[in-house]
Amino acid sequence: MKRLQVIISGKVQGVFFRHFTKKRASALGLSGEVRNTADKKVEAVFEGRRDTLQKMLQFCKKGPPGATVEKVEETWSNATGEHNGFTVKH
């Protein structure tokens, strides 16, 4: 199992990015969390199979309707197992 952390920049707050991320991650069977950052970015952590994480990464690079993704920073590591399901942090 792998872990993928992403920081997404652009017009990504106020466009339901977190909601769409949770819906997509849950549908793919990934665990983790997503949150807005103080500097108007979205940060997410996903854990699961690498091929499934690659699909999630492609979603993050596009985003939901209304979003304009300018940059996605990605960090790969081994899964920690600390998440149970997928949550939206406020």
Domain boundary assignment for the chain: 2-78
pLDDT in tens, 71-87: 999 999 999 999 999 99
Please tell me whether residue 82 adopts helix, strand or coil conformation. coil
Task: Using the predicted structure, report yes or no on whether residue 68 has a pLDDT greater than 90.
Answer: yes
Other C-beta atoms closer than 10 Å to the C-beta of 73 total 11
The confidence band for 90, taking pLDDT boundaries of 50, 70 and 90, is confident
8 A C-beta contact, residue 8 and residue 17: yes
Q: Over the chain, what is the mean pLDDT?
A: 97
Q: Which of 24, 35, 36, 49 is catalytic?
A: 36
CATH fold of 2-78 reads: Alpha-Beta Plaits (3.30.70)
Q: Which of 3, 18, 24, 49 is catalytic?
A: 18
Model confidence, pTM: 0.96
Please tell me whether residue 40 adopts helix, strand or coil conformation. coil
User: Is 36 noted as a catalytic residue in this protein?
Assistant: yes
Phi-psi region of 48 (alpha: psi -120 to 50; beta: other; left: phi over 0): left
User: Is 84 noted as a catalytic residue in this protein?
Assistant: no
pLDDT in tens, 45-67: 999 999 999 999 999 999 999 99
